[in-house]
Chain A
C-alpha cells in the first residue's frame, strides 16, 4: 500500500505573540496533516488559536517555531516574495468578512488573482471568472459592484475568487459567521460541491455544530494543541 504524502504537514508548530512578561503562547506544538481533497472543520473555543493557525498555514503569518510544509515544500524559510507567489498559485481564502474590493465588479473581483499574476485581464480568465460566478449562482450579478450585493452573495463571490487560480487548499475562517441560516446553508453546500468537483482541500473554522457535522473530519484545538480529531482518520 502506497501512503501518499499529505498536502499539508505541520509538526510541533509554536506561535507566541509578544515578548517577555506579556508574551502569549497561543499555539504550543501543533501536529496536523491535511490530505488532498479533504473537507475539514477546525473547531475550538474562542481565542483558542484557530484563526492564528489558519493564518500560519495561509503563509500570512510566520510561526515562532516548528515545521510547516505544503506540496512537499517547506514554507518556513521561504522569502516574502516567494510566499506571495505561493499563495497566488496554491492557496485560496474565504474570510468571515467577505473582503471584496468595493470599487470592482463581482467578475473583476473573481478575476483579480489571475489578472494579478498574468499582468492582464485575459479573455480566458474572464471566461473562467464568469463560469465560476455562474457556478455559485450569480451569473446575473457579474457586473454588480461588491457594494451592490447582499451578504450571502458577497460570500459566494469571495468563494469564486478563492477558487479562481485552482488552489490546492482553501482556508475558510468562519465563512458563514455573518450569514443567516439560509445563506449559510447555501454557502456551505457550495463549498462542499466545489470540494467534490475540483478535489480542492477545504479547512473551515466554525463555531456552528451544524457546519462541523457537515465536514468529513473535525479537528479540535484546546489549550494550544490539537486535542482530538474525529471523522475520517488521517
Chain B
C-alpha cells in the first residue's frame, strides 16, 4: 500500500467519531439523491404507462389532402392549384397492404384496423352521444385491454354486439342482454344487443365509447372497403418516433407517434428532471461544504504533526495527497453506504406502494442513479479536500516546533 494511502487511512481511523459523522452525513446526502432519482424514475415510468396503456403507440391514417400545385404551362404565367376538399371521406382504402407491411416489420406487438365515427345510443326517450369503435373481434384488446375490465356480460363481439362502459350503462339504465338502437352520424341505424359492460376507470372510455364489430361499423358509417385508421402497439414504446417515421415512409400513410401527441407529458417530465437536478446539486453542495469544513478543522488540529512531517522532509505533495485521499475515502465510503441504504429504502417504499395497491409513491429502486451518485460523490469528496489540502501543505514546520 502506498505510504500516503496508509497515512490518510490511519488519520481517518484514529478520529473515529469525526469519520463516522462525516460518513453518515455523506451517506444521508446520497440517500436523498438515490431516493429522488428512484422517485422521479418511477414516476416517469408510471406516468408513461398510465398514458400509453389505452392508446396506440403509432397511428396510421390517410394523409391530409393538402392544397397542391398542379403542373401548368410556365410560359403562360398561370398556376393550377388543387384545393383541399371535404367531399372525400378520410379513409385508408389500401389498408390490407398497409397491414401486410406492418406485419412484416419487426418489433410490432399488435396492429389493428379500426373504423370509428360518432353516433348516438338510443333507448326509449333517452339518448347518449358515443364515439363508436369498430374492431375486429380478436383484436378487441390489441390497443386498450377491454376484456379484463368487463364487469358484466362478456367481451364477445359478434355482429349484433355492443360493448359499453359502466357510466354510459348507468346513464341509460342499460343491462346486459338488452337491445338498443345505435344511430350513426351518417343517419344509419342498427339494433344491437348489450353483450358486455366494462369499467376502465377512464372517463372517456367508460362514458362515451362503444365497441362494435368492424363489419357492423362498415354499414353504420358507409365504409364498404376502407378503414379509418390502423392502430399499432410496439414492443418498445420509446421507439415510437422512429417507428412512425419508418412506417409512414413504407406505407405512404400519415403516421403519428404517441410521443408527438403527448408532448405535455414530456414537458412535465423535463421539469421534474430539472427539479431532481437541483436537489442533487444541493445535496452535493452540502456534502462538499461538510467534508471541506471537517477536513479544514483536521488541518488545524494536526498542525504540529504536519509541521513535523515537513521537517522530516516529507514533501508538500505528500501532505496534499494525505488530505485529498481522506476526502476521496470519505466521499467513496459515504457514497457506498448511502447507495446501499438508499436502495434498501427505495425497495421498501416501492414494495410498500405496490402492496397498498399503488396508492403510495411510485418509487422504483431500479431507477436510482447509483453508479453516477457514487462517482459524483467521490469526486465531490476530492474537490472538498482541495482547500484543506492546500492549507495543510502551507503549514510552516516552524509552527510545529514552536508549539
Contacts and interface: CB of A to CB of B under 8 A. Distances in A.
A42 to B, nearest CB: 16
B401 A116 contact: no
Contacts of B313: 84-89, 91, 113, 116-117, 165
B391 interface: no
B80 interface: no
B318 A104 contact: no
A61 B398 contact: yes
B14 A113 contact: no
B11 interface: yes
B11 A99 contact: no
Interface string B311-332: 1111110100000000000000
B213 interface: no
Interface string A50-87: 00000100101100000000000000000011001111
A161 interface: yes
Contacts of A202: none
A64 B3 CA distance: 36
A17 to B, nearest CB: 12
A84 B304 contact: no
A190 interface: no
A87 B312 contact: yes
B366 to A, nearest CB: 42
- Chain A interface bracket (under 10, 10 to 19, 20 to 34, 35 or more): 20 to 34
B139 to A, nearest CB: 72
Interface in A92-137: 93, 95, 97, 99, 101-104, 112-113, 115-121
A113 B315 contact: no
B301 to A, nearest CB: 11
Given A61-B398, A119-B4, A120-B3, A104 B10 contact: yes
Contacts of B401: 55, 60, 95, 99, 173
B397 to A, nearest CB: 5
A58 B14 contact: no
Interface in B308-359: 308-316, 318
A165 B401 CA distance: 20
Nearest to B397: A60
A101 B316 contact: no
A103 B10 contact: yes
B401 to A, nearest CB: 6
Nearest to A90: B313
A91 B311 CA distance: 9
A89 B14 CA distance: 29
Given A55-B401, A84-B314, A84-B316, A120 B2 contact: yes
A176 to B, nearest CB: 17
B398 A121 contact: no
Contacts of B315: 81, 84-85, 116
B90 interface: no
B252 to A, nearest CB: 71
Contacts of B403: 97
B246 interface: no
A93 B312 contact: yes
Given A99-B304, A99-B400, A93 B3 contact: no
B305 interface: yes
Contacts of B4: 119
A118 B3 contact: yes
B320 to A, nearest CB: 12
A84 B305 contact: no
Given A95-B401, A101-B308, A119-B2, A88 B316 contact: no
Interface in B1-29: 1-4, 6, 10-11, 13-14
A137 B83 CA distance: 110
A112 B14 contact: no
Contacts of B1: 120
A73 B6 CA distance: 34
A63 to B, nearest CB: 13
Contacts of A101: 305, 308-309
A173 B401 CA distance: 10
Contacts of B304: 99
B2 A60 contact: no
Contacts of B305: 101-102
A102 B14 CA distance: 9
Interface in B268-314: 304-305, 308-314
Contacts of A89: 313
Contacts of B6: 121
Contacts of A91: 313
B310 A99 contact: no
A88 B10 contact: no
Contacts of A93: 311-312
A112 B311 contact: no
6 contacts: A84-B315, A87-B313, A101-B305, A113-B312, A113-B314, A118-B3
Given A84-B316, A101-B309, A112-B312, 20 more contacts: A55-B401, A61-B398, A80-B316, A84-B313, A86-B313, A87-B313, A88-B314, A91-B313, A97-B403, A99-B304, A99-B401, A101-B308, A103-B11, A103-B13, A103-B14, A113-B313, A113-B314, A119-B4, A120-B1, A173-B401
Report, nearest first, the 7 A-B pairs whose CB atoms are least far apart.
Answer: A88-B313, A116-B314, A87-B313, A103-B14, A115-B3, A99-B308, A113-B312
